[in-house]
Amino acid sequence: MIDVQNLTKRFGDTTAVDSLTFHVDEGEIFGFLGPNGAGKTTTVRMLCCLISSSGGAAKIAGFDTASDEDSLMIRKMIGFVPDNVGLYEELTAYENLELYGRLYECPTPQRQANIESYLKMLDLWEKKDRPAGGFSKGMKQKLALIRALIHDPQLLFFDEPTANLDPESTKVVRDLILELKQQGRTIFLNTHDLDEAQRICDRIGIINTKLLTINSPEQLKQSIWGSQTVIQLERIDEGLLDAVRQRHPKNFSVEGNRIIIDVDDPQKENPGYVSALIAAGGSIQSVTESNPDLEEAYLKIIKDSE
Residue-level pLDDT at 264? 84
pLDDT tens track for 14-51: 999 999 999 999 999 999 999 999 999 999 999 999 99
pLDDT at 125 exceeding the cut of 80: yes
Residue-level pLDDT at 212? 95
Residue-level pLDDT at 303? 85
Please indicate, yes or no, whether the overall pTM of this predicted structure exceeds 0.75: yes
Name the residue range of residue 265's domain: 222-292
- Let me know whether 156 and 282 are in one domain: no
Q: What CATH number does residue 271 fall under?
A: 3.30.70.100
- Let me know whether 285 and 148 are in one domain: no
For residue 280, being part of any structural domain is answered with: yes
pLDDT at 10 exceeding the cut of 70: yes
- Let me know whether 117 and 171 are in one domain: yes
- Let me know whether 226 and 201 are in one domain: no
- Let me know whether 192 and 227 are in one domain: no
Q: How confident is the model at residue 225 (pLDDT cuts 50, 70, 90)?
A: low
The residue among 215, 238, 257 that closes a domain is: 215
- Let me know whether 101 and 31 are in one domain: yes
Mean pLDDT of the region 48-67? 96
Q: How confident is the model at residue 281 (pLDDT cuts 50, 70, 90)?
A: very high
pLDDT tens track for 150-192: 999 999 999 988 887 888 888 888 888 999 999 999 999 998 8
Question: Helix or strand or coil: residue 59?
Answer: strand
pLDDT at 69 exceeding the cut of 70: yes
Residue-level pLDDT at 172? 85
pLDDT at 214 exceeding the cut of 80: yes
Whole-number average pLDDT of the chain: 92
- Let me know whether 45 and 112 are in one domain: yes
Residue-level pLDDT at 296? 79
Q: In this predicted model, which residue has the larger pLDDT, 222 or 213?
A: 213
Q: In this predicted model, which residue has the larger pLDDT, 78 or 160?
A: 78
Q: How confident is the model at residue 60 (pLDDT cuts 50, 70, 90)?
A: very high
Strands 258-263 and 252-255: antiparallel
Domain count across the chain: 2
- Let me know whether 211 and 227 are in one domain: no
Q: What CATH number does residue 158 fall under?
A: 3.40.50.300
